[in-house]
Structure 1
Amino acid sequence: MNRTARLFTSVLTASAALLLTSCGSGGGADSSTDDIKGADTGTNSSPSASPSAASDAKRPEITLPKTLQVSFEGWTNSDPKLQAVMDDGKERLLSTYAAITDQDPQADYVAFYNEGTALATAEEWVRGLVDDDLTLIGKGRVFAPQVRISPDGSGTLFYCVDEGAGSTKNLKTGAVTKTPTDDAFVLYQTKLSKSDDGVWKTTTVKTTRGGCE
């Protein structure tokens, strides 16, 4: 499956070594989705708490064009600490989409929510799409979040993305490539680290196509 056929998938997919480290120590992402408890569930989209409420850091405003809509279902948690992880994880995902629609591989807002290997792979992926004159259109649905904070202080956030209503569009030719229905569900397993100013930055990402089915 070529890159144009994979709309939203793995803007931060890493090398095999990274996939191993994303399942690292401290009881973090080494747990399965069934082992991560605490996330409320729901079938309707609901607004999350403002990320700015989680710390004193001034977070960037991230906006997507009307041609790309991303909904988050069940993205709430009764624990404010876990909610803060979810909020920043949500903004990280949106930041990568925005960088593609803005055609800006080094967008400041991507660096705000990513660091280390996650930042490098995010910039590389966005640059690849930009170099191919591609952008994202359609709809994405993010659901089934699972979140925890490990004893070592790191955060783990798992979630599913349904790309079935999304496509890539070539900005020069106008050609649209739709994501195949049988290739639409992707499991994201992310690890985060809390910065000194209270921002949960994503450090590693593992994606599994078909992992949500």
Structure 2
Amino acid sequence: MKRRFLPVAVAVTASTALLLAGCGSGGSDDDASDKIKGAAGGDKDASAPASASPEPDGERRPEIKLPRSFQIDFAGWTNSDPKLQAIMDDGKELLLASYAAIIEGDPQHPAFTFYAESDALRTGTEWIKGFTDKNLVLIGKGRVFQPQSRISPDGSGTLFYCVDEGKGSTKNTKTGEVTATPADDALVLYRTKLRKTDEGVWKTTMVQTERGACQ
């Protein structure tokens, strides 16, 4: 899995904001290469705050807490199909775990390593280190919306969603310098692939990101 859109070194020095596209990666999965339906429009559902991990199926999920300095709202994060909702729930936890890993300065954060595996774990760790090595943490707010999940014929799951980073920034913990996300880079489309474990956890195996695809 290769990074396709913003390598860490470029992302941190060029945008120096949330830079979620820095964890983007390539792949050959057909589901992950599609455009998300309705990505050009905004989602008007009421936002829901980031919540605790879903109830465990057969394996205890780690609890993820974000500080008041950085909060995420998930809008319309529901699906009438419980199987698709399970994909959305665990995909959400992976995103929250990635943020927590950056804020806590731990590329091997236990929640991140729990929800990510394979190429998603490898490239995600490199992406997180792009922040921690430069003493950067996340502050402000983010909004996640337009989720779409499905199960492929081979049993794997896919989850697409949009992230609005417009109210987010990075802060250098040593200098105190704050850098806001440029407006042109604020919207990011995520395409992810997941695998369901025997214990019922959907773990993310691949992540692709593309800026501008959610406008």
Q: TM exceeds 0.5?
A: yes
Q: Which deviations, in whole Å up to 9, do the C-alpha atoms of 1:115-155 show, x marking residues without a partner? A: 00100111111112111010000000000111111111010
Counterpart-to-counterpart distance in 2, 1:50 and 1:104: 20
- Which structure 2 segments of 5+ residues have no match? 1-9
TM-superposed CA distance for 1:95, in Å, is 0.2
The DSSP-based 3-state class of the residue aligned with 1:121 is helix
Matched, 1:154 2:156: yes
Q: Which residue identity does 1:81 align to in structure 2? A: K
The CA distance in 2 between the partners of 1:153 and 1:116, in whole Å, is: 17
Cα 1:58/1:191, change in 2 over 3 Å: same
Q: In structure 1, what is the Cα distance between the partners aligned to 2:144 and 2:194?
A: 18
Residue of 69, 74, 77 corresponding to 1:72: 74
Matched, 1:7 2:18: yes
Equivalences for residues 133-144 of structure 1 within 5 A: 133-144=135-146
Q: Which amino acid aligns with 2:35?
A: S
Deviation at 1:29, TM superposition (A): 2.3
- Single out whichever of 50-59 and 163-172 deviates more from structure 2: 50-59
Within the candidate set 32, 45, 57, 2:35 is matched to: 32
Q: Is the 8 A contact 2:73 2:144 kept in 1?
A: yes
Q: CA deviation at 1:8?
A: 4.2
Distance in 1, matches of 2:210 and 2:65, equals 27
Equivalent AA in structure 2 for residue 33 of structure 1:
I
Gaps (5+ residues) in structure 1? 36-40
Please list, as runs of the form range in 1=range in 2, the aligned pairs for 1:1-213 lying within 5 A after superposition: 2-3=11-12, 4-10=15-21, 12-14=23-25, 19-21=26-28, 24=29, 28-34=31-37, 43-46=45-48, 52-53=54-55, 55-213=57-215
Alignment TM-score, normalising by the size of structure 2: 0.86
Instruction: State whether residues 54 and 84 of structure 1, in contact with CA within 8 Å, keep that contact through their aligned partners in structure 2.
Output: no
Contact 1:48 1:76 (8 Å CA) reproduced: no
- SS of 1:61's equivalent? coil
Distance 1:30 1:155, change over 3 A: same
Percent identity (aligned)? 55
Q: What TM-score results when the alignment is normalised by the length of structure 1?
A: 0.87
RMSD: 2.1
**Structure 2 contact 53–64 (Cα < 8 Å) conserved:** no
